[in-house]
Structure 1
Amino acid sequence: MAKKEKENKEKRIKKDEFVQRIIAFFNQDRKRSFNYKQIAHGVGASTQPQKQLVFQILENLAADDFLVEIVPGKYKSNNRGTIVSGRFERRSNGKNHVVTEEGESIFIAERNSMRAMNGDKVAIYVYAKRKNKDTEGEVKEILEKAEQTFIGTLEVQKHFAFLLTDTKILANDIFIPKDRLKGGKTGDKAIVRITDWPERAKNPYGEVVDILGVAGENNTEIHAILAEFGLPYIYPQSVEKAADKIEDKIDPEELKKREDFRGVTTFTIDPKDAKDFDDALSIRALSNGNWEIGVHIADVTYYVKPGSVIDKEAEKRATSVYLVDRVVPMLPEKLCNGICSLRPNEEKLCFSCIFELNENADVINSRITRTVILSDKRFAYEDAQQIIETGEGEYKDEILTLNNLAEKLRKKRFANGSINFDRHEVKFEIDGNGKPLGVYFKISKEANKLIEEFMLLANRTVAEFIGKTPKNKKAKTFVYRVHDLPDPEKMSTLSTFIQRFGYKLKTEGNKKEVSRSLNSLLGQVKGRPEENLIETITIRTMAKAVYTTVNVGHYGLAFDYYTHFTSPIRRYPDMMVHRLLEKYLSGGRSVNTAKLEEQCEHSSNMEQVAANAERASIKYKQVEFMSAHLGEEFDGVISGVTEWGLYVEINENKCEGLVPIRDLEDDYYEFDEKNYCLTGRHKKRNYRLGDPIRIQIARANLEKKQLDFALIEKNNKR
C-alpha cells in the first residue's frame, strides 16, 4: 500500500512539473502556435507515457482557456491577457504578487519578476486566467523603483561583506563591497540600501546606511525595530535647535485674550512614568447646584506654527511611538515634556472644553475656548484610584465628584450602544539595561475610566460643534475619527466561532441591539480562560478606526460625531483639529478638503505603522523573557491556526509562540481556513482555535523575534 501511494505521489509531482514547463514554454512566445510534437520536445517529454501526459495537459489547458487549439493537435496561447500596472510585493518564499491599482492580486513567479523589488511600481502582462487557478502575470517593465533598505547582521570578510537578513521579503543576503561598509564589523546590526542587482548575480549589491550597534544589545534591537518600520530612531538636531529657541515665558498680552482658570482647582491624572501631560481637569461648584468641568488640553499649536521645521517633522511622524522601554516622541523634548506639558504649579496655555453638568451628568451647556491654567497637583492613576477606593486623600471631594459624574456618563454611553472593549495590556518590568524581569497586566480601573469619559466627551463635543449644522447649511471641512460598521460576514463567522464555547451573538437588527449583544458577550467571557481569545477575535471582526474628512460616525463608541482633540502632544491629527477650530471660531472659511484628506490618510497609515512597531517590541521582549525558560512547560490556548502551524498563547503571561506544523509528526495535517483548525488526514485528530493545550518552550530566536513551542499534551479528538 505504501509503495503504491509513493508511486501515485511521484506521478502527481511529474504531472505538475510538466504543467509548469508547458505554461513556461508558451509564455516565452505568446504569438506563435506549436504542434503537439514541438511542445513535447520543448518541455523534455521523451518517453511515450510522458508524451501522452503532455497531450492530456494540453487538452486540459485548452479547456481552461489558457491555450487555444487552432487546428487539431496545434496550440497557441490565449492572448486575451492585458498590460496593467501595480505595486510589486516580493516574498522570500517565491510567492511574489503585484497588487494592481484596482486592488487585484496577481501572482508573479520568480522567473517572471525581472528582479523587481518590494514596493516597485511595475507594468505586467496578465496571462489568460486558467479555471480554478490564481491569476498569473509577468513583469514587463519596472516603472518606478522604490528605495530598498534592509536591516540585518553584518558578516565581514577580507574584501567584501554580506548583510544577513531575516526579512520575509528577500530570500538572498546582500553583498556589500568593502568600501561601502561605513566602518561596520562582523556582528554589527546595520541598515543597508540596495544599490544594484546585476542580471547574473545571485545576490543584490548594497551599501551601509547606518550602523545601529552590536546585535543583541537592547538599544540596537529597539533601534532596529524602528528602522524596520521606517520610523526615526533619532531626533533631528535642527528641529531640537528650533525648539530651544521657543520662549517658555507667556506673553502678558496673550493672557489678556484668554479665559483665566488659574484660580480654579485643576489637576492632571496620568501614568506614573508619564512626562508629557497634555490634558488636565478643572472642577468647581456653580451657584445653581451644577458642576463646571473644564477639560484643558495643551495648546501646542500656539507654539508650533504651520510650515515650521518643528511642524513638518511632527506631520511626517504623525504620532509618538510607544515601545516597551521608551517613547519616541512626535515633538522635541523641550515642547512635549517642558513648555506644553501641563506640569503642576506652572502657568500653561490651553485649548479647553468647558461643560456645565448637573447631578445626573447631563450636559446643560458647553463652550470651546482658549484658556490659561495653573495645575494644582499631578496625580498618578494609582494615587487617584486610592482616593476613589478609600475616600481619603488630597482633593478627595473633587476626585470623587468627577468619578461619580464619569460613571454616569459611561452608563449612558453603553445604554446608547457603545461597545465595552476593556482589554488587559501586557506590560514588562524592565531593568536599567532593558532586560525584562517580569510580566504584569495593566488593568483599567475607575481612575483610568474617569479620564477616558471626559476626554471622550470633549472629543465628541468638538466634532459636534463643527459637524452638526442646520439642515440648510453645509458643515465646514473637518478631521473626524470614524469607525465603520463591522462586516456582516465577519460577524457571522464570529457568531459561529463562539457557539463552540456556549455563547450566542445577535448579528442582525439595529446598531443598538447588535452592540448590546456584543457587550453581553464581552461581559460573559470576563474571567473565563477564553476571555482574551474571544476579545481578540471580536476586535479583529471590527473595522479599523481611521482619520478622514468624510464623517460616517464612530460605531464602537456609538457617536454620530467624533474627533481627536485631547492629545496634541502625541498625535498630529489633534494639532490639525486645534488649527481648524481656531480658524472656524474666528469666522474663517472652510479649508481645502483634498489636502486635508491626504493628511488624514497619512496620519492613519502612520498610526498603523506605530502600532506594528509597538507589537514588534513587545514580541521581542516576550522572546527575550521566555529565553530564560527554555525547557519549561506551560498551559496555553491555541490563539492562531495557519498552514505553517499553531500559535499558542501562554495563560499566565500572554506570551505567544508557534508549534510548527513540521513538528506534528503523528499525522499529515491539513489547514482548514473556514473552521480555524488543523486536521490530521489519517487519524482525523484536529487542533482548533481556542483549544486548551500544554506546551514546552523549545526555541527562542531573538533575531527573528520568534518563539517555538513543542506540544506536550494534545487535545482530544473533536
Structure 2
Amino acid sequence: MSKRTKKNKSPDTGKKMYTGRLEVSRGGMGFVIVEGLEKDILIRPDRMSTALNGDEVRIEVRGHRDNNKRQEGEIIAILHRKQSEFSGHIEVHPHFAFMIPDSEKMPVDIYIPLHLLNGAKDGDHAMVRIVEWTGKTKNPVGEVVSVLTDESMNEIAMQGLLVENGFPLSFPDDVLEEAARYPEGIDKAELKQRRDMRGTLTMTIDPVDAKDFDDALSFKALKGGWYEVGVHIADVSHYVLPDSLLDKEAYRRATSVYLPDRVSPMLPERLSNELCSLRPNEDKYTFSAIFTINKQGKVKDTWIGKTVIHSDRRFAYEDVQEMIEGADGDHKKELMLLNGMAQALRAERFSKGAINFSSQEVRFKLDETGKPIGIVVKESKEAHQLIEEFMLLANRTIAEYVGNIRNKDKPVPFPYRVHDVPDEDKLKMFTVFAAHFGIRFDLTTPENIARSFNKMLASVQGKPEQHVLEQLGIRTMAKAVYTTENIGHYGLGFEHYCHFTSPIRRYPDVLVHRILQQCLTTSIHPIKNLEAQCRHCSDQERRAMETERAANKYKQVEYIQEYVGDEFEAVISGVATFGFWAETVAHKCEGLVPVNDLNDIDHFEFLENEYALVGRSTGLRFAMGDKVKVRVVAANLVKRQIDYALAETPQSARKGGAIKRGRPAKNEKSRTSKKRK
C-alpha cells in the first residue's frame, strides 16, 4: 500500500512536522503513528499538550532517542478529537462542579461551571461533553449532556464503552428529522428506472435476533441446468445522499457497533430497521448482482444494477441448518441447490489460495436486566457459509467490474477492501513453533505460504494443538483495511475485493454503491479525498472491534464472578514473563494465572519462541494450547479482568500422583497481577 507520509516543514523552525494518530501507553508515554513511517514517534507526557489517546495530531520532531533512534516529538496541534464525551460521576461544590471520569484514558477531571450542569446533581452518573480545553489549563471545561437515569452497572458500562471509543449514544434531532421525511413504499417513477424482481422467489437468511436485513437471495430455475441467483443488497444510497445530514452522521460513525445487549447503529432506526431493511412481504429498493450459475458454482453471466424486490420468506440460520441436516421446511429444494452452489464456490476459493481459518463466536444468554445467565459458543456451519459465499461472490464481482473501468485513462478511485501478505518476522517465529508439531511451511511465495496454512489447518483438525496453531496463525496475518490502492485480498485469495453487501451497517459499502452507480451510467465524478475516507472507515472499524471485545469481556467477567472458587477445564491462550492466560473450554472466559502463584512448584522462565513458561528444576512447561485446570480467584468488572489460580498441576509434572493446590480461606485476599495482556 501507499508509503506516502504526512510531512511538511515548519515555516518558523525548519523542523520536520507530521500528522498522525496518538496512542498513549498505560505508563503515560505517547506514540504517534504516522502513515509511511516504519517507527512511531515518541511523545513524552510533558509534550502532549491536551491530546488524548486516539486523537489525530500534528507534531514537530525534536530529536532522537539514543537506544533505537526513534524520533521524539512534541504535539503542537490537535486536529481531531477521537472522543469529546466522557462518562463519570458528578461532584458538586458550592461554586463549581467536577466530573470524575470512569475511563483511565481520560487522565484528568472535567471542570463544570454550575450553569452547565443541566440538572445533574451531586453523585449522578452522567455524560459530559468537553466544550473548551487549552494548554493553559490543566482541566477541560465541560457541560452535562445527559444524566444516566438507569444506574445499573450494565447500562453504565455499555454506554461508557461506546462513548469511550467515540460512538455517540443518540442521533442529533436534525438527522432524525431528515430520516423521517422519507415515505414508505415504492415510487412508480422510480420503479421504471429499476429491474422489477418482485415475481422471483426471494429469501433472507440472518441471525434469529436480527432486525436490519442487508441482503436477500433470489432463485429461479433456467433451462439447460442453469439457475438465476440474485444477490440483493439494501439500496441505502437511495436515501442517504452525498453531503446530507444523514450522510455526514453515517460517515462520522462509519460502522454499526454490536454489543451483547444492543446495537449502536450507523443509521437511524427509521432507515436501518424500516425503510432499508429487507423485511418479508414488503417491496424494497435494492442494488443487485444477478448471476447465471450452475450447480457446480460456475458463473456464465452476471447482471449488475438497481432493482425492486419482495422478500417472500425470512429464515434464521438455524432454520436453514436444520434443513441441511435433514429436516423438512419451506423452499427446501431451492435452499439445498443454493447450498450446493455455495459449497462448490467455497471449495474453488480454497483451491485458489484462500486460507481456511475457522471461526467461533461467543453469544450471551441475557436476562431482562442484561445480566448474562449463559454463554453459547457458536461455530460457522453450512447455513452461514451459504450466505457468506454468495456475499463474497458479489463483493468480488463488483470490485472486478469497477477495477476494469477507466476514467480518462486512469483507474476509477474506489474503496477496495485489501489484505496484505503475512508479517515476515511473525511468520518466521510461527513456523519455528509449528515445527514442534511436525509441520513444515513453504515460504518461497505467498501462494505457497497460503497452501502451507491450509495443509496445516487440515492436518490438525480435532487434535489438541488445533486451537493454538489456529490462533497463532491468525496473529501472523496483516489487518484488512480500506484503501484506494488495490493490492488484493490475501486471506481470501482475491485480486479484487470490496465491501458491497452491508450498507446499512458499513459506510464503505455506501461509497461502493455510489461509485458503482456512476460506473453503470458512465457519468463518473471521482469522490474527493477518498483515501482519507478509507482511513477513517478503517479506524472506526478498529474502534468498533475494540468496543465489541471490551463489551464481551465485561459480560464474561460478569458471568464468571458467580463462580469464584469453582474449577474449570481450560486451555492456555497466551504466555508472558509474568504468567499465562487460560481460556475456559465451556464458555471461553479468559483470565490470568500469575507466575508468582507458580513459585511453590518451580521458578519459571519465559521462552518467547516457544510461547511457553518452563520450570528451571522440574522442566514443567506451560505452553499455548496446553490443557490446564484453573480455579476462579477473582473477577473485577471495573477493570474487566479475571484472575485464575492453577487448580491442579498438569500430568507432565506429577511425581507419584496429582499435586492438588488447596483453595484459599474465605478471608484470604486474592492476588491480582498488575500486568495485563
Q: TM-score range by the shorter chain?
A: 0.7 to 0.9
Deviation at 1:436, TM superposition (A): 0.4
Distance between the aligned counterparts of 2:99 and 2:302, measured in 1? Answer: 59
* 2:254 maps to amino acid: A
Specify the alignment match of 1:496 in structure 2.
Answer: 432
Match of 2:238 among 295, 299, 302: 302
SS at match of 1:605: helix
In structure 2, stretches of 5+ residues that fail to align are 1-13, 655-677
Distance between the aligned counterparts of 1:277 and 1:671, measured in 2? Answer: 48
Cα 1:83–1:237, aligned 2, differ >3 Å: closer, same or farther? closer
Contact 1:150–1:193 (8 Å) recurs in 2: yes
Specify the alignment match of 1:706 in structure 2.
Answer: 641
Deviation at 1:352, TM superposition (A): 1.0
Specify the alignment match of 2:467 in structure 1.
Answer: 532
SS at match of 2:548: helix
Specify the alignment match of 1:659 in structure 2.
Answer: 593
Deviation at 1:689, TM superposition (A): 3.0
* 1:236 maps to amino acid: P
Contact 1:476–1:590 (8 Å) recurs in 2: no
Cα 1:105–1:713, aligned 2, differ >3 Å: closer, same or farther? farther
Specify the alignment match of 2:548 in structure 1.
Answer: 614
Distance between the aligned counterparts of 2:217 and 2:526, measured in 1? Answer: 31
Cα 1:161–1:663, aligned 2, differ >3 Å: closer, same or farther? farther
In structure 1, stretches of 5+ residues that fail to align are 1-80
Post-superposition Cα deviations, 1:687-717, rounded to whole Å, max 9, x if no partner, equal 4333333222111111111112223335557
Match of 2:404 among 464, 468, 479: 468
Match of 1:541 among 450, 462, 476: 476
Distance between the aligned counterparts of 1:628 and 1:276, measured in 2? Answer: 34
Post-superposition Cα deviations, 1:384-406, rounded to whole Å, max 9, x if no partner, equal 12222226221111111111111
1:646 and 2:583 equivalent? no
Contact 2:229–2:291 (8 Å) recurs in 1: yes
Contact 1:644–1:660 (8 Å) recurs in 2: yes
Match of 2:367 among 410, 431, 434: 431
Specify the alignment match of 2:533 in structure 1.
Answer: 599
Distance between the aligned counterparts of 1:222 and 1:426, measured in 2? Answer: 17
1:387 and 2:323 equivalent? yes
Deviation at 1:589, TM superposition (A): 2.8
Contact 1:647–1:657 (8 Å) recurs in 2: yes
Contact 1:637–1:692 (8 Å) recurs in 2: yes
Post-superposition Cα deviations, 1:640-666, rounded to whole Å, max 9, x if no partner, equal 233554222112111111234554544
Distance between the aligned counterparts of 1:375 and 1:198, measured in 2? Answer: 57
SS at match of 2:517: helix
Distance between the aligned counterparts of 1:418 and 1:350, measured in 2? Answer: 29
Distance between the aligned counterparts of 1:530 and 1:165, measured in 2? Answer: 43
1:393-432 aligned at under 5 Å gives the runs: 393-432=329-368
1:170-181 aligned at under 5 Å gives the runs: 181=117
Cα 1:301–1:109, aligned 2, differ >3 Å: closer, same or farther? closer
Contact 1:477–1:590 (8 Å) recurs in 2: no
Cα 1:643–1:264, aligned 2, differ >3 Å: closer, same or farther? same
Bigger helix share: 1
Specify the alignment match of 1:32 in structure 2.
Answer: none
1:451-466 aligned at under 5 Å gives the runs: 451-466=387-402
Distance between the aligned counterparts of 1:303 and 1:110, measured in 2? Answer: 46
Deviation at 1:616, TM superposition (A): 0.8
Deviation at 1:468, TM superposition (A): 2.9
Cα 1:135–1:353, aligned 2, differ >3 Å: closer, same or farther? closer
* 1:281 maps to amino acid: L
1:358 and 2:300 equivalent? no
Cα 1:700–1:485, aligned 2, differ >3 Å: closer, same or farther? same
1:228-247 aligned at under 5 Å gives the runs: 228-247=164-183
SS at match of 2:325: helix
Q: Which moved more, 1:120-129 or 1:609-618?
A: 120-129
1:4-43 aligned at under 5 Å gives the runs: none
Contact 1:319–1:330 (8 Å) recurs in 2: yes
1:67-106 aligned at under 5 Å gives the runs: 89-97=23-31, 102=37, 104-105=39-40
SS at match of 2:160: helix
* 2:572 maps to amino acid: I
Contact 1:258–1:370 (8 Å) recurs in 2: yes
Q: Which moved more, 1:103-112 or 1:357-366?
A: 103-112
How much is the aligned-residue C-alpha RMSD, in angstroms? 3.4
* 2:388 maps to amino acid: E
Specify the alignment match of 1:53 in structure 2.
Answer: none
Contact 1:553–1:562 (8 Å) recurs in 2: yes
Deviation at 1:336, TM superposition (A): 1.4
Share of identical aligned residues, percent?
A: 44
Specify the alignment match of 1:57 in structure 2.
Answer: none
Distance between the aligned counterparts of 2:605 and 2:587, measured in 1? Answer: 30
SS at match of 1:564: coil
1:311 and 2:247 equivalent? yes
SS at match of 1:390: coil
Distance between the aligned counterparts of 2:512 and 2:637, measured in 1? Answer: 41
SS at match of 1:579: helix
SS at match of 1:276: coil
SS at match of 2:225: coil
1:632 and 2:569 equivalent? no
Match of 1:341 among 256, 277, 295: 277
Deviation at 1:364, TM superposition (A): 0.9
Specify the alignment match of 2:422 in structure 1.
Answer: 486
Post-superposition Cα deviations, 1:559-609, rounded to whole Å, max 9, x if no partner, equal 1111111111111111111111111111113514x5121221111111111
Post-superposition Cα deviations, 1:172-221, rounded to whole Å, max 9, x if no partner, equal 666667666551433625446496699898x8876655434565432221
SS at match of 2:303: strand
Q: Which moved more, 1:92-101 or 1:630-639?
A: 92-101
Specify the alignment match of 1:585 in structure 2.
Answer: 520
SS at match of 2:574: strand
Distance between the aligned counterparts of 2:187 and 2:472, measured in 1? Answer: 52
Distance between the aligned counterparts of 1:336 and 1:108, measured in 2? Answer: 41
Post-superposition Cα deviations, 1:586-643, rounded to whole Å, max 9, x if no partner, equal 1113514x51212211111111111111111101100100111111112222222335
Cα 1:521–1:611, aligned 2, differ >3 Å: closer, same or farther? same
Cα 1:603–1:525, aligned 2, differ >3 Å: closer, same or farther? same
Distance between the aligned counterparts of 1:204 and 1:309, measured in 2? Answer: 29
Contact 1:314–1:331 (8 Å) recurs in 2: yes
Contact 2:49–2:135 (8 Å) recurs in 1: no
Specify the alignment match of 2:123 in structure 1.
Answer: 186
Contact 1:295–1:354 (8 Å) recurs in 2: yes
Distance between the aligned counterparts of 1:98 and 1:257, measured in 2? Answer: 49
Deviation at 1:322, TM superposition (A): 1.0
Cα 1:464–1:494, aligned 2, differ >3 Å: closer, same or farther? same
* 2:196 maps to amino acid: D
Cα 1:442–1:509, aligned 2, differ >3 Å: closer, same or farther? same
- Give the structure with higher Rg (CA): 1
1:208-247 aligned at under 5 Å gives the runs: 208-213=144-149, 216-247=152-183
Contact 1:154–1:161 (8 Å) recurs in 2: no
Distance between the aligned counterparts of 2:136 and 2:605, measured in 1? Answer: 39
Contact 1:166–1:704 (8 Å) recurs in 2: no
* 1:481 maps to amino acid: R
Distance between the aligned counterparts of 2:116 and 2:578, measured in 1? Answer: 38
Specify the alignment match of 2:504 in structure 1.
Answer: 569
Contact 2:419–2:491 (8 Å) recurs in 1: yes
Cα 1:125–1:410, aligned 2, differ >3 Å: closer, same or farther? closer
Post-superposition Cα deviations, 1:450-506, rounded to whole Å, max 9, x if no partner, equal 111111111111111111369996432222111111122222111122233x14142
Distance between the aligned counterparts of 1:521 and 1:345, measured in 2? Answer: 46
Deviation at 1:423, TM superposition (A): 0.9
